[in-house]
Structure 1
Amino acid sequence: MYNNILSETSDSITTITINRPSKLNALNKETIEELHTAFAKAEEDTDVRVVIITGSGEKAFVAGADISEFANFSEEQGAELARKGQELLFDYVAEMGTPVIAAVNGFALGGGLELAMAAHFRIASDNARMGLPEVSLGVIPGYGGTQRLPQLVGKGRAMEMIMTAGMIDANTALEYGLINHITAQEELVPLANKLGGKIMRNSPMAIAAAINAVNAGYENGVDGFDTEIEEFGGCFGTEDFTEGTTAFLEKRKAEF
């Protein structure tokens, strides 16, 4: 079904694996389109409660974009590449109501780090290396990197990472707040599944509302507090709210 990715669902968790090991899982146009399709299917499937995105092999999550595809692009083509990629994949992932965990196994560079940053949070293997090396190629991050990296690590650290085109290791990424947890390579996907299990104990409606409210705080011209108030009120009209509050009062576990 897919040429560049694998997607499998088990126990309400969809795991999407970028599967181009010979190219260190680099993102080309086809891979971005396939990823959009897989994420959209997971978002539309009410049985899917969590999505994990990772890379195949032990070397790389995604080692960047496939530079050979756009080395001869014009200014207009370059802008369109960034615009279409952001709409189709990076913004789409960030705005999903289904929680997305990035399990960063190895190198996450350029578009790879941008994909990890579009996920709702990130965990990494202890051999992970992260960076935005675009300025070394005479270009800048174009899939949201200049916006999401400062949101996650602060302006000064983001500026340094972008301007030096350097890589940081997993421990530094943890210190910066870029990732939430470090673990051994073989424990990475099991940890993602464990975190997914914790998420799945809670109301999927409330989680989608919370994602929307948190994201609103980073949107220009949007008052995140107003969004929170609207989403909070909206929860009161859901079956999940009735079940959650009833279960609490009856001293039992809620069944969402």
Structure 2
Amino acid sequence: MAYETIKVERGQVGIITFNRPQALNALNTQMARELVAALEELELDDGVFAAVLTAEGDRAFCVGADLKERKNMTRAEMKKQRELFVRAFEAVVNFPKPLVAAVNGYALGGGCEFALGCDFIVASEKATFGLPEVGLAIIPGGGGTQLLPRIIGRARAKELIFTGRRIPAVEAYRLGLVNYVVPPEELMTRTMAIMQEIVQNGPIALQQAKRAINLGLELDLHTAFALEAQCYNVCLATEDRDEGLRAFNEKRKPVYRNR
């Protein structure tokens, strides 16, 4: 598929790049459609073990919805666009492979929610995070009210959402919102180094570990242990598991084939 508002690179580490820097990578209808398609494309590609979500330019990761596009829409058109946007946010959250956000510049509103929907965030020192929706008399609608409390705790999330406050990367790190803060020029280098650590491992195991963590956190401990056992057994029946054991005994690096 040809993309106009995003860029897609394929390999063991797939890379999806928001590509509307002139609009601070604001989310419009086309970008939402293309993001959903790109995530599906990388999900179905067995050669992609994990992925990065990032953005073109150094001013913004994504500043949320493109309000210039929305200003002339009817209520019916906005409702239809809203349904599409929800699909895009859910596509990020439900992507079954490891997905890491590399954030430089503003990550506001929906942009912050896209980052929150990833498995973790690597942030530039220039990154700024915020959910300012209450200032427009709405609430975060891309998972922010659900994801942020789960990451930094209920009280801190309420403070950030109720005030609409923007926070710099160093404060986001202190709150546990991001895993790393790096100089802007090192953002992708550091991110890709972390991704190489990830993709040297079994791709099916990575997917099952993600599934066990994400679903298990919503369950009681007894049920979560049963889920973990189920995910473990999926791995046990794969050719990659056999290759991992062979490689260990032969004292070599395994060659995983995602099967």
TM-score (norm 1): 0.91
Query: How far apart are the structure 1 equivalents of 2:78 and 2:227?
Result: 34
Q: How many pairs are equivalent?
A: 253
Q: SS of the counterpart of 1:182?
A: strand
Q: SS of the counterpart of 2:209?
A: helix
Alignment of 1:79-94 (within 5 A): 81-86=81-86, 88-94=87-93
For residues 184-237 of structure 1, what are the alpha-carbon distances to aligned partners after superposition, in whole Å with 9 as ceiling and x for unaligned? Answer: 111101111111110111000000001111110344799433221110122111
Contact 1:122 1:180 in 2 (8 A): yes
Query: Structure 2: which 5+ runs fail to align?
Result: none
Query: How far apart are the structure 1 equivalents of 2:112 and 2:216?
Result: 22
**Offset of residue 83 of structure 1:** 4.3
For residues 143-163 of structure 1, what are the alpha-carbon distances to aligned partners after superposition, in whole Å with 9 as ceiling and x for unaligned? Answer: 111000111111111101100
CA RMSD of aligned residues (A): 2.1
Alignment of 1:130-149 (within 5 A): 130-149=129-148
TM-score (norm 2): 0.90
For residues 11-43 of structure 1, what are the alpha-carbon distances to aligned partners after superposition, in whole Å with 9 as ceiling and x for unaligned? Answer: 522221111111100011111111111111111
CA distance change for structure 1 residues 12 and 143 in 2, over 3 Å: closer, same or farther? Answer: same
Q: One-letter code of the match for 1:114?
A: E
2:67 is aligned with 1:67 = yes
Equivalent residue for 1:206? Answer: 205
More displaced 10-residue stretch of structure 1: 48-57 or 195-204: 48-57
Contact 1:128 1:170 in 2 (8 A): yes
More displaced 10-residue stretch of structure 1: 11-20 or 182-191: 11-20
Contact 2:13 2:199 in 1 (8 A): no
Query: How far apart are the structure 1 equivalents of 2:227 and 2:79?
Result: 31
**Offset of residue 84 of structure 1:** 3.6
Q: One-letter code of the match for 1:127?
A: K
**Offset of residue 6 of structure 1:** 1.3
More displaced 10-residue stretch of structure 1: 44-53 or 214-223: 214-223
Query: How far apart are the structure 2 equivalents of 1:35 and 1:99?
Result: 16
Query: How far apart are the structure 2 equivalents of 1:79 and 1:246?
Result: 54
Query: Structure 1: which 5+ runs fail to align?
Result: none
Contact 2:32 2:84 in 1 (8 A): no
Q: SS of the counterpart of 2:252?
A: coil
Equivalent residue for 1:4? Answer: 5
Q: One-letter code of the match for 1:187?
A: E
Q: One-letter code of the match for 1:108?
A: A
Identity %: 39
